[in-house]
A and B are shown apart, each in its own frame.
Chain A
Amino acid sequence: MWEALRDWIRERREKLNLFDETLAARQDNPMFLLGPLLYYFWLITVVTGVVLMIWYEPTTTGAFSSIERIQHEVPLGWLIRGLHKYAADGLILTIILRIYRMYFLGEYKKPGELSWMLGFLGLVLAMISGITGYLLIWNQRAFWAAKTVLSVPVYFDEIPLIGPMGFGSMIAYVFLGGPAVGQATITRFYALHFGISLVLLILIEVFFQRTRRRRINMSLAPMILFMVMLVVISYILPAESGRRADPTRTPLPILSDWYFLALYQYVKYTPPLWAGLGPGLLIGFGMLVPFLDRSRGRRPLERPFFFVVGLMALIYFLVFTTLILFNIAVIERDPFIVMVVTVAVLFGALLWELRYRRRQRSAPPRAAPAVRPHAAG
Chain B
Amino acid sequence: MDAEPAPRMERRSLLKWAVAAPALAGLAAFASPLLRFLKPNVDKFKIYAPVTNDVARGETIVAATLDDIPRPWDYKYFVFTQKYPQYTPEGFKAANMPGVVVRLPYKVPLPVQWARTIGKEPQVTESDIIVYSRICPHLGCIYNYVPNWREVTAGYGGYVPPDARKHALMACPCHLSIYDPADREMPGRVLSGPAPRPPRTFLYRVEGTSIIVTDVEPGGIA
Q: Given the complex of chains A and B, what is the CA–CA distance between A184 and B47 in angstroms?
A: 18
- Decide: A180 and B93 in contact? CB cutoff 8 A: yes
Q: Which residues of B contact A180 (CB under 8 A)?
A: 84, 86, 93, 95, 221-222
B140 at the interface (CB under 8 A from A): yes
A77 at the interface (CB under 8 A from B): no
- Decide: A172 and B174 in contact? CB cutoff 8 A: no
Q: Which of B64-72, B153-161, B207-215 forms part of the interface with chain A?
A: B153-161
Q: Which of B14-22, B25-33, B191-199 forms part of the interface with chain A?
A: B191-199
- Decide: B193 and A331 in contact? CB cutoff 8 A: yes
- Decide: B196 and A144 in contact? CB cutoff 8 A: no
Taking A184-B87, A270-B194, A329-B157 as contacts, is the C-beta distance between A250 and B96 under 8 angstroms? no
Q: Given the complex of chains A and B, what is the CA–CA distance between A271 and B177 in angstroms?
A: 11
A251 at the interface (CB under 8 A from B): yes
A179 at the interface (CB under 8 A from B): yes
Tell me the residues in window 177-203 of chain A with beta carbons closer than 8 Å to chain B beta carbons. 177-184, 187
- Among B47, B50, B157, which residue has its beta carbon within 8 angstroms of that of A328? B157
Q: Which of A25-33, A117-125, A163-171 forms part of the interface with chain B?
A: A163-171
Q: Which residues of A contact B88 (CB under 8 A)?
A: 177-178, 182-184, 187
Q: Given the complex of chains A and B, what is the CA–CA distance between A181 and B220 in angstroms?
A: 11
Q: Which of B120-128, B141-149, B180-188 forms part of the interface with chain A?
A: B141-149
Task: Count residues of chain A with CB under 8 A from any CB of chain B.
Answer: 47
B62 at the interface (CB under 8 A from A): no
Taking A179-B222, A187-B88 as contacts, is the C-beta distance between A267 and B175 under 8 angstroms? yes
- Min Cβ gap A45→B in Å is 27
- Decide: A150 and B175 in contact? CB cutoff 8 A: no
- Decide: A178 and B158 in contact? CB cutoff 8 A: no
- Decide: B142 and A249 in contact? CB cutoff 8 A: yes
- Among A148, A155, A177, A250, which residue has its beta carbon within 8 angstroms of that of B86? A177
Q: Which residues of A contact B38 (CB under 8 A)?
A: 174
- Decide: A248 and B79 in contact? CB cutoff 8 A: yes
A176 at the interface (CB under 8 A from B): yes
- Decide: B50 and A178 in contact? CB cutoff 8 A: no
- Min Cβ gap A306→B in Å is 30
B 73-107 to A, binary, CB cutoff 8 A, 1 in contact else 0: 00000010000111110100101101000000000
Interface of B is mostly: loop
Taking A272-B194, A331-B193 as contacts, is the C-beta distance between A179 and B39 under 8 angstroms? no
B176 at the interface (CB under 8 A from A): yes
- Decide: A275 and B176 in contact? CB cutoff 8 A: no
A209 at the interface (CB under 8 A from B): no
- Decide: B54 and A179 in contact? CB cutoff 8 A: yes
- Min Cβ gap B189→A in Å is 15
- Min Cβ gap A179→B in Å is 5
- Decide: B93 and A182 in contact? CB cutoff 8 A: yes
Taking A170-B47, A268-B157 as contacts, is the C-beta distance between A178 and B87 under 8 angstroms? yes
B49 at the interface (CB under 8 A from A): yes
Q: Which residues of A contact B39 (CB under 8 A)?
A: 170, 173-174
Taking A167-B48, A187-B88, A268-B157 as contacts, is the C-beta distance between A147 and B140 under 8 angstroms? yes
Q: Given the complex of chains A and B, what is the CA–CA distance between A316 and B86 in angstroms?
A: 39
- Min Cβ gap B158→A in Å is 5
- Decide: B194 and A181 in contact? CB cutoff 8 A: no
Q: Which residues of A contact B98 (CB under 8 A)?
A: 248-249
- Decide: A254 and B174 in contact? CB cutoff 8 A: yes
A86 at the interface (CB under 8 A from B): no
B173 at the interface (CB under 8 A from A): yes
- Decide: B87 and A252 in contact? CB cutoff 8 A: no
- Among B139, B143, B156, B157, which residue has its beta carbon within 8 angstroms of that of A152? B139
- Decide: B143 and A182 in contact? CB cutoff 8 A: no
Q: Which residues of B contact A252 (CB under 8 A)?
A: 144, 155-156, 173
Taking A173-B39, A184-B88, A331-B192 as contacts, is the C-beta distance between A272 and B56 under 8 angstroms? no
Q: Which residues of B contact A167 (CB under 8 A)?
A: 48
- Among B48, B175, B194, B221, which residue has its beta carbon within 8 angstroms of that of A179? B221
For this complex, 16 residue pairs linking A to B, each with C-beta atoms less than 8 Å apart, are A150-B221, A170-B39, A178-B84, A179-B84, A181-B222, A183-B90, A183-B93, A247-B96, A248-B98, A268-B157, A268-B175, A272-B196, A327-B155, A329-B176, A330-B158, A331-B157
- A residues at B contact (CB < 8 Å): 144, 147-148, 150-152, 154-155, 165-167, 169-170, 172-174, 176-184, 187, 247-254, 267-272, 275, 327-332
Known: A151-B138, A250-B142, A250-B173. 17 other contacts (CB 8 A): A147-B221, A151-B221, A155-B196, A165-B48, A177-B87, A180-B95, A180-B222, A182-B88, A182-B93, A182-B95, A184-B87, A184-B93, A247-B96, A250-B144, A253-B173, A330-B158, A331-B159
- B residues at A contact (CB < 8 Å): 38-39, 47-51, 54, 56, 79, 84-88, 90, 93, 95-96, 98, 138-144, 155-159, 172-176, 192-196, 220-222
10 residue pairs, one from A and one from B, having the closest CB atoms: A178-B86, A252-B173, A148-B139, A151-B139, A182-B93, A180-B222, A329-B157, A250-B142, A180-B95, A250-B141
